Amino acid sequence: MRVGIDVEQFARDPYGSGIQRVLQQLALNWPNHEIEADFVFPQGDFFALLSPEQAAGIFSVPFGEQEAGSDLREMVRTAIENATGPRVRGADLLSLYTSWLLPEVSYLPSVLERFRIFHASMISAMIGFDALPMTEPANYRFPAGTVPYVSDYFRQLAQADRVVCISDYAREELWHALRRPMNLFTEVAHPGGDHVAVHASQNSDDLVRFIRLGTLEARKMPVEILHAFLEARCEHAELVFVGGGSSSDSGINAAITIASESNPRVTWIQGATDIEVIELIANADVFLALGTEGYGIPVLEAIAAGTPVVYGGIQPAAELMQGGGARAHMGLEHVNLVELFHTYAQPGRVEELRSEIDISRIPSWADFAMSIARSCKS
């Protein structure tokens, strides 16, 4: 038995997303003793069949240090070219595998057509993230020319032989919003957080530092968080945004830019490497996870780094860690968010939160990869 893992979407659009973190860790933890795998990358008119170890190195490119003006697509293309391994034409892929896995969200017509063809002749498997790009399209960045294929992707997700969802929330969406038949194989496996070395929080100054990580998407409430923080007027607190700007709402970017340039207690950091992000999280006191997430790997990264999480809204990873480093805050209205800052800026509250951290509850990437591998077996 052998599985082909289609990663053309990554090769065409590498940008260090949460889904691409899943790809990186899937490759690093792939259990070849369970079922052998090739990660299938496009290379001109051919496909490069790379081992999990080779693929992991390529998937790590967007998360590493880059010079200003670096072209991630070119860096990934060069890495694929330099990797040793078989090159085959697309027509030959059918004869090589017993199953075909689409591990990322893709709206590329070439990817979807290939999946449709392979679905007819072998086990077809997918990782189910969430249906938010379909239910909240205004909050998503769709590569040029792919919008007509969004519904096609979700049809494939509803019809694939095997789907492993990243959370119970994603599975419920799959069953109800996408009407996937309940008799089809649909399991849940939680992405891990053990790629972060466990260590105690490092913040030693007198400030209570709130940190919010991720792109400035409206569903993650960056502007609401900012306005609440400014109104709370907590004397010994600061707010740090880490991540890229919104690709769909320039007004969000403008609001955070103006605040960070005019208020010394508000900071916006972009372009940080993996190592720098973890250092920033470890130097914070409270990690904010508010709004809507399909899962939320950064929540697990924060807890592993010794920084407790306060969450609200749809936050599957935080709910998983409730009482083990994550605490729910009731309500997402402006008055509730102001109260959040007042509450956790008080002396002693951070220490109380930090005492609840239980790193033994953080899911492992090895368990996640094993669940995906087993879903690809006949």
Q: Along the 378 residues of the chain, how does pLDDT read in single tens digits?
A: 999 999 999 999 998 889 999 999 999 999 999 999 999 999 999 999 999 999 999 999 998 887 777 899 999 999 999 999 999 999 999 999 999 999 999 999 999 999 999 999 999 999 999 888 877 777 676 766 777 888 899 999 999 999 999 999 999 989 988 899 999 999 999 999 999 887 666 666 789 999 999 989 899 999 999 999 999 999 899 999 999 998 778 899 999 999 999 999 999 999 898 899 999 999 999 999 999 998 999 999 999 999 999 999 999 999 999 999 999 999 999 999 999 999 999 989 999 999 999 999 999 999 999 999 999 997
Residues 173 and 247 in one domain: no
Residues 184 and 224 in one domain: no
Residues 348 and 371 in one domain: no
Give the burial class of 200: count Cβ atoms within 10 A of its Cβ; 0-12 exposed, 13-18 middle, 19 or more buried: exposed
Here the tokens at position 301 are 């990264």
Residue 199 lies inside a defined structural domain of this protein: no
Residues 250 and 172 in one domain: no
How far, in Å, CA of 375 to CA of 370, rounded? Answer: 9
In 3D, which of 305, 17, 348 has the Cα closest to residue 208?
348
Residues 77 and 168 in one domain: yes
pLDDT value of position 70: 81
Count CB neighbours of 250 within 10 A.
10
**DSSP secondary structure string for all residues of 219-285:** GG-HHHHHHHHHHH--TTEEEEEESPPPSS-HHHHHHHHHHHHH-TTEEEE-S--HHHHHHHHHT-S
In 3D, which of 10, 11, 50 has the Cα closest to residue 30?
50
Helix/strand/coil for 101 = strand
Residue 197 lies inside a defined structural domain of this protein: no
How far, in Å, CA of 194 to CA of 305, rounded? Answer: 10
* This prediction's pTM: 0.92
Residue 112 lies inside a defined structural domain of this protein: yes
CATH of the domain at 270: 3.40.50.2000
In 3D, which of 291, 149, 146, 147 has the Cα closest to residue 213?
291
How far, in Å, CA of 81 to CA of 77, rounded? Answer: 6
Residue 278 lies inside a defined structural domain of this protein: yes
Residues 153 and 14 in one domain: yes
CATH of the domain at 112: 3.40.50
In 3D, which of 325, 214, 330, 340 has the Cα closest to residue 269?
214
Contact 212, 222 (CB under 8 A): yes
How far, in Å, CA of 372 to CA of 103, rounded? Answer: 9
Amino acid in position 55: A
How many domains does the structure of the chain reveal?
Answer: 2
Residue 201 lies inside a defined structural domain of this protein: no
Residues 102 and 149 in one domain: yes
Contact 40, 90 (CB under 8 A): no
**Could you say which DSSP state residue 207 is in?**
-
Residues 185 and 212 in one domain: no
Range of the domain at 87: 2-192+365-375
Residues 338 and 353 in one domain: yes
How far, in Å, CA of 141 to CA of 330, rounded? Answer: 30
Residue 14 lies inside a defined structural domain of this protein: yes
pLDDT value of position 277: 93
pLDDT value of position 201: 62
How far, in Å, CA of 308 to CA of 357, rounded? Answer: 7
Residue 117 lies inside a defined structural domain of this protein: yes
Helix/strand/coil for 74 = helix
How far, in Å, CA of 151 to CA of 8, rounded? Answer: 19
Residues 134 and 263 in one domain: no
Residue 202 lies inside a defined structural domain of this protein: no
Residues 124 and 228 in one domain: no
Residues 17 and 71 in one domain: yes
How far, in Å, CA of 150 to CA of 83, rounded? Answer: 31
How far, in Å, CA of 315 to CA of 296, rounded? Answer: 7
Query: Which residues neighbour 207 within 8 Å (Cβ) at sequence distance 6 or greater?
Result: 236, 237, 238, 285
